[in-house]
Structure 1
Amino acid sequence: MTERLITHLRHVDLAVPDFDKQLGFYSGTWGLRTEHTDSGLAYLAAEGSPEQYIVRLRQSADKRIDLISFGTATAADVDTLAGQLAADGVQLIGEPDTLQTPGGGYGFRFFDNEGRTVEISSDVEARQHRTIEEGESIPVRLSHVVLNSADPEGTVAFYEKHLAFALSDTLMHPRMGNMMWFMRTNAWHHSMAVARGPHPSLHHASFEMRGIDEYMRGTGRLLRAGVEKIWGPGRHMAGNNTFSYFLDPHGNTVEYTTELEVLDEDTWHPHLYDFTNPEVSDQWGTANAMNEFVAQRSFNDPDKGLFVAPPV
């Protein structure tokens, strides 16, 4: 078993054609703070997070996931992972080096099995942040990222083998088989999940709120603003977290959540949940039904960035 050196999820970077509209949504309606900008680039932080940014937006002709970033504890861990990946034949985009992004640090990038760009980094300067106050309906941190995969079994195996992600739970359907795998890098139930889909793409990015009241206030705030809600509000069984899914201006699904389960990793055993049981999707029974329409919106457009490293 590979030693787990990944400590946490840092940020998700998205490229979009209409940069201004996307930036207005995330920095205004969604509740993130624009911390750094450059020509056609914006780095957005969560007020409650020490991460320099949790979303990066980049102007591009193509809609794509630019990269997903994970942290390690030390530069030595970065070097160890880079060496192990290279030895296993994984394509590195570059050798570990000083990062040229806000907060600096030390890291490298590589392509996963389906061609997504992944960044591993350490020693990024912590951002001055604050405690989110009662009633504030803005994200505290980036909770997790869910990926659509045309080869989900292969993708799960890749992250288990190379980055020591652990399986927390699996969702299955009696006719379609296993459909979603929840994977963790620390005691949070999942930092990433892999969903069976028609093509590689972003399924959704999820943002943690302070608590139930702030989560519901945020859900209501987006509804009043006319943002299209896909699914929710409700509470999943896997992870025991709340959910409200919306579409950003480019059709990416984004989620407000809270109370994601923290596991005792020494005693945890993964469950296999049948999501035809309504309580598996939503324990509360308050969300709209998970139907074909909802599922298709989460498929997203095919990612145009596979095996193409972002320019920044």
Structure 2
Amino acid sequence: MTERLITHLRHVDLAVPDLASQRSFYTGQWGLTEVATDTGLSFLAAEGSPEQYVVRLRQATDKRIDLIAFGAATPADVDKLAQTLARNGVKLVSEPGAVVTPGGGYGFRFFDNEGRTVEVSADVALRAHRKVEEGESIPVRLSHVVINSFDPEGTVAFYERHLGFALSDILTHPRMGNMMWFLRCNDWHHSFAVARCPHPSLHHASFEMRGIDEYMRGTGRLLRAGVEKIWGPGRHKAGNNTFTYFLDPQGNTVEYTTELERLDEDTWHPGLHDITDPAVSDQWGTANRMDEFVAAKSFNDPDRGLFLAPPV
């Protein structure tokens, strides 16, 4: 097994044609806090997270994932991972060096097998965060990011081979085969997942709430505000986490969740979960049915940034 040098998920960076509406949504409705700005950029933190920011927005002509960022324990681990990737033929976008975004640190970027930009960094300064209080319906942290892949088997193999991610569970369909793979880089059931799709894109980004009450309050607050709900509220079987999915102004799916399962990695064995079983999608039976409408929204628009590193 590949040595795991990744410790956790840091942030997801999105390029959007309308920065103003996106910034307004994430700060005014979703519950993130803008902590820094630059020309055409907005850095958004979760109040309960020590990460400098969990979402970065960038004004751009094309909608895309700019990058997905992960943490490493030390600069030495960053160097080791960069050297191993380069030796194995992975295309580096930048060599290890100083990170120039809020919090600084030491990191590098590379393209994954389908051309997404991935960043790995260490020694990023911790943000002065706070405890999210009882009843506060705002995100505590970025829980996980799920991507759509035209070649999901190849994408899963890339993250397992090169980054040491481990498989937690698979969603499967009796006719269409395996549909989603949940991958972990620590003892959370998943920090990253890969879904089968006609094209690479963002499937969804998920934000953890303080607890069930705060999760439901947040869900209700967005519904009252008229934000389009795609799916939920309910509780998945794989990961055992709650879910409500909404669309942001640019058509990206974002999720409120809580109680994602933590695993004993020494004893855990991946399971195959049949998504035609209603209890797999939603143990509670409270969510709307997973149908073609929900699936189509989760496909998102094709990512326009493959093998094109973001300018920042």
Give the equivalent residue in structure 1 for 2:126: 126
Give the equivalent residue in structure 2 for 1:144: 144
Deviating beyond 3 angstroms after TM superposition, the runs of 4 or more aligned structure 1 residues are none
TM-score by length of 1: 1.00
Give the equivalent residue in structure 2 for 1:246: 246
Pairing 1:227-266 to 2, within 5 Å after superposition: 227-266=227-266
Aligned equivalents of 2:27, 2:198: Cα separation in 1: 31
Give the equivalent residue in structure 2 for 1:11: 11
Deviation at 1:256, TM superposition (A): 0.1
Pairing 1:195-206 to 2, within 5 Å after superposition: 195-206=195-206
Give the equivalent residue in structure 2 for 1:191: 191
Give the equivalent residue in structure 1 for 2:67: 67
Give the equivalent residue in structure 1 for 2:33: 33
Aligned equivalents of 1:94, 1:276: Cα separation in 2: 43
Give the equivalent residue in structure 2 for 1:22: 22
RMSD of aligned C-alpha atoms? Answer: 0.3
Give the equivalent residue in structure 2 for 1:96: 96
Aligned equivalents of 2:96, 2:29: Cα separation in 1: 36
Pairing 1:44-55 to 2, within 5 Å after superposition: 44-55=44-55
Aligned equivalents of 2:27, 2:37: Cα separation in 1: 12
Give the equivalent residue in structure 1 for 2:310: 310
Aligned equivalents of 2:80, 2:167: Cα separation in 1: 22
1:112 partner letter: D
Pairing 1:173-188 to 2, within 5 Å after superposition: 173-188=173-188
Deviation at 1:2, TM superposition (A): 1.2
SS of 1:84's equivalent?
helix
- Structure 1: give runs of 5+ residues left out of the alignment: none
Aligned equivalents of 1:78, 1:209: Cα separation in 2: 30
Aligned equivalents of 2:265, 2:244: Cα separation in 1: 27
- Structure 2: give runs of 5+ residues left out of the alignment: none
Percent identity between the two aligned chains = 79
Deviation at 1:39, TM superposition (A): 1.0
Question: Residue 161 in 1 paired to residue 167 in 2?
Answer: no
CA deviations on 1:241-270 (whole Å, 9 max, x unpaired) are 000000000000000000000000011000
TM-score by length of 2: 1.00
Aligned equivalents of 1:231, 1:111: Cα separation in 2: 31
1:114 partner letter: E
